[in-house]
Copies of this chain bind each other. A is one copy, B any other.
């Protein structure tokens, strides 16, 4: 990367993608105008990325949809082989009957999804590829698209705005409690890809839904970028669970941008399991919590090789009695570096917040940094944080080894015991796979 891009080059790299996406998706003109706003914002926007520079960013391109994908999934047989292998690994095939129900898959930049979901539309559950939602519900999308972000706040938000592709629109009608979790899978098959799905979640008053996102890719020739943006709107009393299982290989940079407006008495529970979080994983989510609302962020991070993980997150407790919890546990191996920066701002009376971060360092070259932030602007908020960084205690190890376990087994057991309390909200069919990945990683890292 010796040559430098002129601003004319930058413009044409982005403009070519915009034109291609607009043409391919036959999207409404107002959306193409939003894309051009992203392009206009790109040049002046700050980069704010510790890993990817501007030239690298522009090498990740939103590719045209891969050919040969089925339009809808009726059964697992409709999926491409790589996808089926992934689902097998995640234990999905075993519970197909139950879970295939809510399956949408984004491979590279195209989304395929389950016909079954369409039938639920009559009861008030809408799950549509974003490109399709644009045409069917233009007013709703117009109102909610890019409302929680500004295109110009960073080059990443600007780039996403310009070249977003795929993603889904999830709408749950007032009072509807969706009885099965919805699955959304992201698969990256191409190198130098900018997979930039845009996800809008609208949970009506007193509705309930659980969305599970699984992410992976086969081994690629060159790096790719997963640059998703999720905007969630929880109306009064809604309950939304978002569980993200990141199992990206080390060839993928990921920048999950998640923000949520959490209404009165609503509950948003976001659990991220970063097992293979890719080459680098940087996030700066934001949550605004209204009266008596509740946000819980759980992070389970496994750092391996030279991976770089930097997870931020700011919660603003804006309504009386709003509460927030930000908890993370990290196991860091090899030369991996993990940073956590949860922040809670208490802006209303009677609010409560807690940040915790625990890390186990498994190697002398692993690095952990934690920078929690607490801000109180009222006199009766209760904010607290706690953190502990250390290694496995030798007493513990020796105790287990004295009971006949090998050092490897003893280490596995301690690491699993360390992470286990964070896995309470993970559906059981994923737990088996998650535990296996952790076991393998810890053994390899010894």
Please report A residues at the B interface, Cβ cutoff 8 Å.
346, 349, 359, 361-364, 366-391
Contacts and interface: CB of A to CB of B under 8 A. Distances in A.
Given A361-B380, A369-B373, A371-B372, 20 more contacts: A346-B389, A359-B376, A361-B376, A361-B381, A364-B380, A368-B375, A369-B374, A369-B376, A370-B373, A370-B374, A370-B385, A380-B390, A381-B389, A381-B390, A382-B388, A383-B388, A384-B386, A384-B387, A384-B390, A385-B386
A364 B384 contact: no
Nearest to A369: B375
Contacts of A366: 379
B384 A380 contact: no
Nearest to A363: B379
A363 B377 CA distance: 9
A372 B372 contact: yes
A306 B367 CA distance: 39
Given A381-B389, A385-B385, A387-B385, A367 B376 contact: yes
A333 to B, nearest CB: 9
Copies of this chain, complex-wide, total 2
A384 B375 CA distance: 20
Contacts of A368: 374-376
Contacts of A361: 376, 378-381
A379 B391 contact: yes
A381 B382 CA distance: 30
A338 to B, nearest CB: 10
B379 A364 contact: yes
Nearest to A371: B373
A367 to B, nearest CB: 5
Contacts of A371: 371-373
Contacts of A349: 364
A388 B384 contact: yes
Nearest to A389: B383
A108 to B, nearest CB: 38
6 contacts: A369-B375, A371-B371, A380-B391, A381-B389, A385-B385, A385-B387
B377 A367 contact: yes
A359 B377 CA distance: 12
A199 to B, nearest CB: 31
A379 B362 contact: yes
A386 B388 CA distance: 9
A385 B375 CA distance: 16
Contacts of A385: 370, 372, 385-387
A367 B347 CA distance: 10
The 5 closest A-B pairs by CB, nearest first: A383-B389, A361-B379, A384-B388, A369-B375, A386-B386
A389 B376 contact: yes
A373 B375 CA distance: 15
A383 B390 contact: yes
A379 B386 CA distance: 20
